């Protein structure tokens, strides 16, 4: 195995049209009686556990039960996904993943701020979990780069190999994803299918920037 691709989810693999935020708000209302608990809290490129802690602090919540909250959140997330009537995968992503899956020199894993259960629920809608056997997730209050490093470590354990930095790529739609790659000295790929433009991702220092993956062969070309 030569190439390791570490993928963000929201805005990169899927365009969820607010399903995550709605589910988080509903869970917060259910558990704490507060509407729009995440209204003024930034979510893009951040970890679920950190986002939840921000909401706890913003509303001075005592008796915090993170596990119970996330269990309720995942139930609402499933409900939100069941309501969907149109695809949420990002442009070109399914064809790209299928092509990558044919290669015996490339492994795709997740590096996401989602807790693992939420990540798997979101990807299950388009049967995408089969492409990502392991990863790093936002279950704890860690730094974003630590999640990417966790994904790299888990991938190495899975394949019993060490992936070289020059063959390891973090792929995401925010400058936070690019920053993680720089911290870990690995390649960075920005894709403008989230809230940031190609120019903003380029300015953040991404090694490669794509408007989307409609022409997926251009992405495959960078792997050699």
Q: Which of 41-45, 107-111, 180-184, 215-219 has the lowest mean pLDDT?
A: 41-45
Element (H, E) at 12: none
- Write 34-40 long-range contacts (CB < 8 A, 24+): 34/59
Residue numbers of the domain that contains 103: 3-14+89-223
Say if residue 78 is in the same domain as residue 100. Answer: no
pLDDT for residue 1 is more than 80: no
Question: Are 103 and 185 found together in one domain?
Answer: yes
Mean pLDDT of 183-205: 97
Q: What is the mean pLDDT of residues 197-205?
A: 98
Q: Is the pTM of this model over 0.85?
A: yes
Q: Are residues 8 and 23 in the same domain?
A: no
My answer on whether 8 and 50 are in the same domain is no
Domain endpoint, select from 82, 111, 131: 82
Give yes or no: residues 9 and 115 share one domain. Answer: yes
The answer to whether residues 27 and 75 belong to one domain is: yes
- Which pLDDT belongs to residue 42? 87
For 6, the 3-state DSSP assignment is strand
Query: For the segment 28-54, what is each residue's pLDDT rounded down to a tens digit?
Result: 999 999 999 999 898 877 899 999 999
Query: How many domains does the chain contain in total?
Result: 2
Q: Identify whether the C-beta of residue 134 lies closer than 8 Å to the C-beta of residue 30.
A: no
DSSP helix/strand/coil, 111: strand
Cα 224 from Cα 219, distance rounded (Å): 10
Residue 224 has pLDDT above 90, yes or no: no
151 and 114, same domain (yes or no): yes
Query: Which CATH number characterizes residue 201's domain?
Result: 3.40.50.1000
Which of 134, 207, 223, 191 is CA-nearest to residue 15? 191
End residue of a domain, out of 49, 82, 115: 82
Instruction: Show which of 82, 100, 128 is a domain's final residue.
Output: 82
What pLDDT digit, counting tens, does each position of 128-163 carry?
999 999 999 999 888 999 999 999 999 999 999 999
């Amino acid at each position: 195995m030569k190439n390791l691709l570490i993928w963000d989810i929201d805005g990169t693999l899927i365009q969820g049209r607010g399903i995550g935020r709605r589910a988080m708000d509903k869970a917060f209302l259910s558990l704490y009686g507060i509407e729009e608990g995440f209204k003024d809290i930034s979510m893009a490129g951040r970890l679920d556990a950190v986002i939840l802690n921000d909401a706890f602090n913003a509303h001075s919540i005592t008796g915090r039960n993170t596990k119970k909250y996330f269990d309720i959140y995942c139930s609402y997330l499933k409900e939100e996904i069941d309501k969907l009537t149109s695809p949420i995968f990002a442009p070109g992503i399914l064809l790209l993943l299928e092509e990558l899956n044919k290669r015996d020199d490339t492994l795709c894993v997740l590096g996401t701020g989602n807790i693992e259960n939420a990540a798997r629920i979101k990807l299950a809608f388009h049967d995408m979990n089969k492409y990502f056997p392991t990863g790093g997730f936002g279950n704890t209050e860690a730094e974003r780069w630590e999640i990417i490093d966790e994904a790299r470590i888990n991938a190495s354990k899975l394949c019993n190999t060490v992936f070289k930095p020059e063959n390891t790529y973090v792929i995401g739609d925010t400058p936070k994803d690019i920053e993680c790659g720089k911290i870990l000295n690995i390649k960075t790929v920005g894709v403008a299918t989230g809230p940031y433009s190609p120019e903003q991702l380029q300015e953040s220092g991404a090694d490669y920037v794509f408007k989307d993956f409609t022409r997926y062969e251009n992405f495959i070309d960078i792997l050699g």
